[in-house]
Structure formats: structure tokens, C-alpha cells
Amino acid sequence: MRVKKLSRFGIAVALFTTFSSMAHAAENKLVLTGSSTVAPLAAEIGKRFEERNPGVRVDVQSGGSSRGITDARSGLADIGMVSRSLKDEENDLKGFTIARDGVGIILNSANSVSALTDQQITGIYTGKITDWSAVGRKAGPITVVNKAEGRSTLELFLHHFKLKASDIKAQVVIGDNQQGIKTVAGNAGAIGYVSVGTAEFEAGQGTPVKLLGMTGIAASVENVRNGSFPLARPLNLVTRDEPSGLVKSFIDFAQSADVHDLIKEQFFVPLGP
């Protein structure tokens, strides 16, 4: 009988030790999920944060801004990544802007169209304009590339053009920015919309895409920075509770001048001067 009690005691000690180790590991790990626009930047910030905080691990997973909201709210993630402003119904969450980004219309660089009005873009995305000859290019079918549900880029696009998701008539539905750029680069008749910074970088590297201006304003990181580009958004980190401990340290770091170079390297706009 005594042996049995000792065995149980030993098991209890072992379990306590295991749980203590797990808790200690959790205290030294951060999980971020959400926006595919924010994820590459968060990953770079995470690497630098790990370097400055030995023993800490930052795990970054994409999946869209909706996932970032859901995971932060449920506790599946320590921090959600959201590439838009928070909605009124999301005011239970805490939001922290780390940079700004613009969303721009992209065409294949072989497309001779150099500008489109908001009305023409709306016509294309609602299926009223289906051939490039209607907007001044030689005849050819338009391939409409749209963002998937749950992507903040889609929400910003719909809000700007005063559309509903059900209004869109798309031939291709894509997820992240790179998928959108790859699709348009491979189809001379395609039109899409992605992060201005990502598209500007890819075009500079020789990828056959080009950004179209909006309302006479060129789609560029510089114009997002100076506030003149009309389709811009904040890049946010969100938490369920008021940040503390490691979560607060990471958010403070992500908002500091210590990562402005990383933000610029991702072709986003840092906060402040």
C-alpha cells in the first residue's frame, strides 16, 4: 500500500514538473497568426526580437486577417495580424498599428492600358466590362483576379469602390499578394489588386506587372507615405487583453524605431517621422 502511495506521489511530481516545463516554454514563445501582408514583416521583426531576447521563439503563421481576429479572440494566438482598421464589432480587441500600406491595381506589364477610372474598375469587377477594347486596349478578354473572403485587401477594395462581395464577378480567386502577382504576371489579360509595396518591389525586380494610379495619384510607397494615395490601410497587431509581459515587449519593439529599416525593406511605411 505504501509503495502504491509513493508511486502516485512520484507520478504527481513528474506531472507537476512536466506542466511547469510546458508553462515555462509557453512564457518564452509567441504565436502570431493572420494577415499574409503583415506576416513577412512580423517574421523579420520576430527574428530580430529573438536575437535580442535569447531563448525566446516567435512563431508567425499567415491565413488572412479574419484568422488573426479569430485566433486572437479565442486565445489560439498570442497576437493576431490584421492589415486593416478594426471594425466596430471588434472593439473587444486591442489594436496596435506598426506600419501603413497601400493597395493598388495591377496589370500585366504587356497590357497597354496606362490608367483606369474608378468607374471602369467597378465595371470590370462587376462583369459589366469584359473586354479590354472597352477601355482603350486591343480586343481581348479580361481575367478578373479577386481576393478570397476573409482577406482585408478585399474588404478595403470593396469599401473604396462601394461594392459588396456578391457584386464581384471573378474568374480567379487568390489568397496572398504573391499569388496575385504571379497570376497577373502569367496572364496578359489579367487585372488584380495587391499591396503597393509588394507590387512595386516585384516590378523593380523584373516581374512583368505594373501598378496603376488612382484618381491621378501614382501607386507608390512614397505616396502612401505622404498620405496622397487614396487606397491605404494600417497594418495592425491585435490582442484579446491588454498586453503584458512578452506580448507587450514584442508589440513595443514592433512599434519602435528599431524596426523601421525592416518596415522599409518590406516596402511599407513606418510610423512617425
pLDDT in tens, 129-175: 999 999 988 899 999 999 998 787 888 899 899 999 999 999 999 98
pLDDT average, residue stretch 74-78: 97
0.85 exceeded by pTM: no
Please list, residue by residue across 183-201, b when 16 or more beta carbons sit within 10 angstroms of its beta carbon and e when fewer do.
bbbebebbbbbbbbbbbbb
**The residue to which cell 535569447 is assigned:** 54
pLDDT in tens, 254-272: 999 999 999 988 888 898 7
Closest CA to 199 of 177, 176, 172: 177
- Domains contained in the chain, CATH given: 2-100+234-270 (3.40.190.10), 101-225 (3.40.190.10)
Closest CA to 180 of 196, 158, 164: 196
